[in-house]
Structure 1
Amino acid sequence: MPWWGQALVILGIVVLGIAIVAVATSSGAGPGIWTKVKAIAGRAVEVARWALGLVRLGMAGIAAAVVVLLGIMFVPPLWSMITFGGACGEPIDLRVVTDAENVGPLGAAARRYMADRSGGGCRTVTVDVTADAPAEQAKEGFAHGWTSPGTGLSPDDCSSRPERATLLGAQPDVWIPASSIIARGVRDYVEGLRACSGKVSPVLVRAHLDLQGSVASSPLVLGVFSKSDQPGLVADGGKQGLKPLLDAFYGDDLVRSLARPSPDISASGLLATPLLYQAMPGSQGVPAKAEEALSRIEAPAGDAVSMLCELRNEDHPAPPDRMAVIVPESVMARYNDGDTLGGAGCPNRKPSQERQLFPYYADDLPVLDYPFVHVRWQGQDDGPRDRAVADFRKWLQRDALTREGLRTPSGRLTGDDQAVREMRNSDHLVPDRVPPRPPAGGEDCTGSLDDLLHCYQHARPGLPVSVMLDVSGSMALTGGPQNDPHLGFAQALALRIMGGVRPSALTTLFEFSQPPPKRGERMPKSGYLMPNGGEVDSTETSQRSDVEASAQRATTQGWDLALTSAIDQAAGRLKFGKQTLVVVTDGQARPPTPAPESGRPNSPGGSARTSPA
C-alpha cells in the first residue's frame, strides 16, 4: 500500500473513534412519550453544544494526528519500523546483459537508477550489469538455458542431458544488445526452435524475448590520431560516405591502416564490416581483399573498449604510425574524456595529445540503437519482476543514458552529453543529430544477422586455428561474480574462439599442464607432453562439434607448465604454413603444497599472445 493510503487508514481510525464516542454519549431516553419528546428536545440542545466542542476537539485531534503521521513518514527509520516490521523488504535483483562496449555507460546509469529507487532508506531493486556473449553465442545461450555452446545437445530431444554444461552467467532479465538487427535475429532463431519444459530439461529451456524499443543510440565514427588529423581534407558534419573519407586520408598518406573491433566478439565491428568491404582502399570491393587488409593491422585485438584501453595506456607503446580506428562515438568520447572504459585493468586517465582521437563522421556508417529486450524464463517470470523490468525500461527511455556519452534513441545530443560535445571544436563539427539507419554494405550482407555473419565468415581466410587450454591445478580456483572455476571461464572463451573460426578451417585443441613430481623427485619433469585426449583435428563442420565437446569435457589435472615449454611442444605438432595459436590460461600458480622443496617452473614470457581466463 502506498504511504498516502496508509495515512488515510490511520486517519480513518481516528475519525471512527470520534464517531463511536459521539454515539456513546448521545444514547439514552426516559419513559413516556411526552417525557421522551421533552428529553429529546433538551437533549438536542445539549448535543448541539457538545457537538460544537467535540468538533473543535476532533479537529485539533485530527490535526495532531496528521502532524504525527508526517513526522513518522519523514523519519525513514521510524517509518520503516512501522511499515516493514523494523527491516527493509527484500529488493528485486534485475540481471542485465549488454554489449561489452556499453557495460560502462549502462553500469553507471544503473547505479543512478538504484539510488533513485532507494527511498526511505530501503533499496527496492538492485541491477547487475554484465557483458553479453557475441551474437552467435547469445543465440545458443537464449535457446539453451543461457549455457555455453558445445554441450552436444540436440534441440529436438528435450530429454537429453549434457555431460557437463557451463553457464554464460546468471540468466538475464534484460538484454540490451548494440543493434536491433542482432536482437531480431536472435529472437527469430530462438522462436523457431522447439520449446522444452524447464522441468524436463533446464539446459534446453528457451527464453522468450520481447523487444520493447530503443533506449539510446550511438553512431560509428572514424577516429584518427593527432599526426593524421586534417579537418580541411574532408567535408564537414558527416555529409560524405566512408569510401571518399578513407580515399582522402589514404591518398594523402595520412592513414596507412585501419583497425576495427573484432567482429568475432564485437557487434559494432560486425555491423561495420560489410561497408568496410566496399570502402577499403585497394580492395576493389572484394571482401576477401578487404578482410586481408583489415587483418594485417598491428592493433590490440578485441572489442572497441579493449582496443582503446590498450591505446590509451601510456605504459604501452604508442599507436602504430598513421593508424585509424572505427569505433562507436560513445566509446571514443569516453576515451578522450578519461572516463571508465573497462575493468580494473583500464585506469581512468585522459590520453596524451599524441594518443587523442579526433572524430570524422560518415553518412553511411551504422548507428547502434540499443534495443531493450525483456527476457522471460520459465518459472522466473512474476508480477513484481515484470513491474521492475518495466520501470527500469521507462527510466532508461527518459534519456538516462545521455549523461554517459550516448545519444537519444532518435540520435539527438542533449545538454547532458558533455563527453560527446567536448569533441567539438572550431575544426571538428559534431552533428547535433545522427538519425538511426540500417547497416550499409549491400542487402546480401546486411539483410539479417545471418547475412552479417555469413558475409564476414566467408570473407575470412581459412587459416588453421589451434587453441591451447590450460588445465593445471590453478584453473580449479574460483572467481568472478558467480564464483565459478577459472576453467569454466577458459572453456567459454575457447568455445567462443572456435565458434568464430571459418567452418572450413582446420581447428586443433591442446590441453596442457605438468604432472606433479613422483616420490623422491625434487622438481617435476619439464618438457612433459600435453595430454592427447583433448586434441582433435577438424576439417568439416560435423567434426567441429567434436572439438567443442572436447573443450567442454576438460578437467583440471597436474601443475603449471611454463608457457614457453607448452608453446614449443604445440608448435612441433602444427601443420606448416600461416596459422593462429591462441593460449588460454589464468597465468596463476596452483595453491601452495606442503612439500618444502616442491615448486613450479618459471613461466617466462614468450612471443605468443595469451588470454587470461
Structure 2
Amino acid sequence: MADANVSTQQAEQGKPTWRDFVLPPFLAAFFDSVTEVLAPLPPWARILVFLSTGLAWYGAKRIKHVWKTLSTLRKSAPGLLGAARIAVAVMAGIGVAFAFSLIVDLSTPEPCAPATEIRMITAAETLWHLTEKARQYEKEQLADGCAPVRVTVAEAPALGRLIDALNSDWERQDTGGTEPYVRLEGLQPDGWIASSEGEAQLVEAAVRDPGLLTIGAPVAGDQLVLAMLPGAARRVERELKAAEGVELRQAWQVVTGKLGMRVARPYPETSGAALSGAADMREAGLEQAERGMLRAPLPSLTVTKLLCAFHARRSEQIALFIPAHSVADYNDAQLTAQAKREGCPEIGLFGSDRLEAVRLQGMHALDYPFVSMRWPRQHSAARQAVVDHFASWLRAHPLFSESAPPDSYESRSLTETRRRLDTEIRPSFGLHVLVDMSGSARELLRAPASAAIRALPDVLGPKDRVSVSGLAAGSRAGPARLDELAREASLEEMDEPARAVEAAQFRGWDAAISAALEKVGGDEPHAVVVLTDGRLDNEEPGDAATTVGRALQRAESVTGLSVLVVGGGTCRVTQLKGTAKPYACRAVAEVPQALADTVLTAKGWR
C-alpha cells in the first residue's frame, strides 16, 4: 500500500498546476522554490510570511514620499527607487500567489487512504440483501468523509463448482486455442453467506484444507414455504383449515393430490435452499415425491431464476417451494440485477399476481451462517480483522427483517441427503451434445460451447454420463460427419471435451440433423442437444419438421431433442411431425446458462 501511495504522489507531482498557467516560467520556478522552502512551516508561520510581505508592500508606498523629500539622494541614485519598487512588487505578487495557494491547501481535504476491500459471495436469492447491507455498512464506517472499507458482493458458484474452486485456490485450468492457462473462478472471496449451517458443513467436509473455512454465527433466519398465487392459496387454506402450522407431508398431499397442483423448486445440486428442502422431504417421508421432482415444472438452477420462470408463466396450478423472504422479494420487486437481465425486469406485481406463502411446521431453519475464508499464503491479520468486524456487524443487522419461526428445527446435516440424491434417488442420465463445427460457426460457437460444456458438472450427478461430438458435412448437402470429442465422460472429465472444442478447426458445411440422429444411437437412453448457428430447414428433400421428427422417432435410445441456436438466428421449426418424443428449439444468447437449463429439463424426459 505504501508503494501505491508513492506512485500516486509521483503522478500528482508531474501534473500541471494553476501556477503553470498564470505565472511566467521564471516566476513559476521562483515561486516553486519559495514554496519548497516554506513547505515545512506550519500554516500559521506561512500566514505570518504573507502578512510580512504585505507590510513590505505598504512600506514601499511610504518610501516614495520619503525619497521625494530626499531629492539629493534621489538624484545621486536615480535607479535605486525603481529597483526597490520592482523588488517589492515581485515579492508582493509572490505573497498574493502564496496566499491563494495557502487558501486552496486549507480548503482541500486530505486525500483518503485506499479502502480495504473485502469480497463476499452468497446465493442468488440473498445477493440483493447482502449488497444492500454492504452499502449500509460502508456508510456507517465513513470517517472524515473517507470510506476505510469497500465490500464487493458476487453470486456464489453452484455447490460442486464452489468445492472445486476452494480446492484449487479459486483457480481453474482454461484454454485459449490449444494453449492451457490458469484463470480465476471470479473474485477470490473473503467470506461466504451460506444458506444454512448444513450447507456450510457439507462444503467444509469436501474441502481438502481444514483451515480454509471457518463457520461463524448466523446473520439471518428463514425457512422454506409453499408459495402460490392468492386464488390457489385460498383453496389450500380451505382444505387445510388453517394457513399456519401445517406439516409438510399434509400440505404436500393436499396441494399435489386433492388440488392437482405441481410443485416447482430449484435443482438441489445447485441450490443450498433446495437441498435443505430435499432434506425436509426425506424426513417427511416424501422420497417418492422427490423422485418425481425431476419432471417438475420450471426447472431452474437458483431460486431467483425460478421466480423469473414463474413470472413468465404465472399459474394457479403451480406452487413454489422457496424461502419465505423470496416471496417478499418477488412481491416487492427486490430481485438481483442478474435476474433482471435474464428477462424479468418488472417482476414485482400487485393484487392477484402477488405470491402468498403457506408456512409449514417442522422445517429446517435456513440460518445463513457467515463463513470466513483464509487463503494459504495470502492471509493478513489486518484484513481478517475487517472481515470479522463485518461479520459481527451483520449479526447485529440481519439480512432479513423476520427471523425463522419458533417451530422450525435447527439447521441439520445435508450430507446424507446429498448422498442419497446422488446414489439412490436420482437415476443415471445420459446426454449427447452435438456442436455445429461448420465454418460459419467458428467465431460464434467456439468459446460459448466450450464454456457451456465446462459448466455441465453444475447440473450433473456422479452417475451421469456425457458424450460430445462435432457435427459438420464435407460438402454442401453432403453426408453428416460426427467427430467424437468425448464418449460417456463423467462430470470430472468435462475439461477434456471443452478443450477439444476450443482446439477444433470448425470447417465444412452445415450438416443435416436428421442424419446426425441416426449416428448417435446406443444402448443407454440419452437426450440429444444440438448447439448450432444454423437452421433445421437445411434438410433435403422435403419438410424439415417431418424429416427430423421421423429420424428422432427411429432413434430408439434418444429420449428427446433440444436445439439451441446462437448468433441471432431463429428457430424456424417450432414443432416436429411424426414423433411424440420431447422436442424444443430456441434462440439463446447465454449458451452455458441455456445448456444447463436444457439439461435440467431433459432429465425429466424418461
TM-score of the superposed pair, with normalisation by structure 1: 0.62
| Separation (CA, whole Å) in 1 of partners of 2:384 and 2:511 | 52
Pair 1:339 & 2:334 matched: yes
Aligned counterpart in structure 2 of residue 275 of structure 1, from 277, 280, 286: 280
Bigger drift between 601-610 and 371-380 goes to 601-610
Question: Aligned pair in 2 of structure 1 residues 469, 391: CA closer, same or farther (>3 Å)?
Answer: farther
Amino acid at match of 1:456: L
Give 2:215's aligned residue. Answer: 211
Give 1:25's aligned residue. Answer: none
Aligned counterpart in structure 2 of residue 534 of structure 1, from 461, 485, 492: 485
| Separation (CA, whole Å) in 2 of partners of 1:275 and 1:223 | 16
- Alignment RMSD, CA only? 4.1
Query: What 5-or-longer segments of structure 2 have no aligned partner?
Result: 1-40, 46-102, 535-565, 575-583, 593-606
Name the SS for the 1:401 alignment partner.
Answer: coil
Name the SS for the 1:397 alignment partner.
Answer: helix
Residues 427-464 of structure 1, C-alpha deviations (whole Å, 9 max, x = no match): xxxx6x5555235xxxxxxxx44312111122012231
| Separation (CA, whole Å) in 2 of partners of 1:586 and 1:166 | 28
| Separation (CA, whole Å) in 2 of partners of 1:561 and 1:352 | 53
Amino acid at match of 1:377: W
CA contact (8 A) 2:367 2:411 kept: no
Give 1:379's aligned residue. Answer: 377
Residues 228-286 of structure 1, C-alpha deviations (whole Å, 9 max, x = no match): 22223325464231011122334532x4311111112111111111332465xxxxx47
Name the SS for the 1:381 alignment partner.
Answer: coil
Give 1:226's aligned residue. Answer: 230
Question: Aligned pair in 2 of structure 1 residues 552, 559: CA closer, same or farther (>3 Å)?
Answer: closer
| Separation (CA, whole Å) in 1 of partners of 2:139 and 2:508 | 47
Give 2:420's aligned residue. Answer: 455
Give 1:496's aligned residue. Answer: 458
Aligned counterpart in structure 2 of residue 612 of structure 1, from 567, 591, 596: 591
Aligned counterpart in structure 1 of residue 159 of structure 2, from 106, 116, 135: 135
Question: Aligned pair in 2 of structure 1 residues 507, 325: CA closer, same or farther (>3 Å)?
Answer: same
Question: Aligned pair in 2 of structure 1 residues 222, 527: CA closer, same or farther (>3 Å)?
Answer: farther
Amino acid at match of 1:437: E
Name the SS for the 2:320 alignment partner.
Answer: strand
Name the SS for the 1:145 alignment partner.
Answer: coil
| Separation (CA, whole Å) in 2 of partners of 1:586 and 1:80 | 58
CA contact (8 A) 2:533 2:567 kept: no
Amino acid at match of 1:134: A
Query: What 5-or-longer segments of structure 1 have no aligned partner?
Result: 1-12, 18-74, 152-161, 196-205, 280-284, 412-430, 440-447, 478-484, 516-523, 588-598
Name the SS for the 2:216 alignment partner.
Answer: strand
Amino acid at match of 2:455: L
Name the SS for the 2:192 alignment partner.
Answer: strand
| Separation (CA, whole Å) in 2 of partners of 1:530 and 1:165 | 33
Give 2:13's aligned residue. Answer: none
Correspondences of 1:44-443 after superposition (within 5 Å) = 81-82=109-110, 87-148=111-172, 163-190=180-207, 193=208, 208-230=212-234, 231-234=237-240, 236=242, 238-253=244-259, 255-277=260-282, 279=284, 285=285, 287=287, 289-312=288-311, 316-319=312-315, 322-341=317-336, 342-345=339-342, 346-351=344-349, 353-402=351-400, 407-408=402-403, 411=404, 433=406, 435=408, 437-439=410-412
Name the SS for the 2:186 alignment partner.
Answer: coil
CA contact (8 A) 1:164 1:552 kept: no
How far residue 301 of structure 1 moved from its aligned partner, in angstroms, is 2.4
Amino acid at match of 1:130: A
Residues 138-167 of structure 1, C-alpha deviations (whole Å, 9 max, x = no match): 22221111235999xxxxxxxxxx955553
Name the SS for the 2:144 alignment partner.
Answer: helix
Residues 275-306 of structure 1, C-alpha deviations (whole Å, 9 max, x = no match): 32465xxxxx473x323422222324221110
- Answer 1 or 2: which has greater strand percent: 2
Residues 317-340 of structure 1, C-alpha deviations (whole Å, 9 max, x = no match): 443x52211001111111122222
- Answer 1 or 2: which has greater helix percent: 2
Question: Aligned pair in 2 of structure 1 residues 333, 562: CA closer, same or farther (>3 Å)?
Answer: farther
Pair 1:555 & 2:560 matched: no
Question: Aligned pair in 2 of structure 1 residues 224, 212: CA closer, same or farther (>3 Å)?
Answer: same
CA contact (8 A) 2:433 2:528 kept: yes
How far residue 586 of structure 1 moved from its aligned partner, in angstroms, is 10
**Larger-Rg structure:** 2
Bigger drift between 230-239 and 328-337 goes to 230-239
Question: Aligned pair in 2 of structure 1 residues 548, 470: CA closer, same or farther (>3 Å)?
Answer: farther
How far residue 78 of structure 1 moved from its aligned partner, in angstroms, is 5.7
Q: Percent identity?
A: 21
CA contact (8 A) 1:134 1:265 kept: yes
| Separation (CA, whole Å) in 2 of partners of 1:112 and 1:586 | 46
TM-score of the superposed pair, with normalisation by structure 2: 0.62
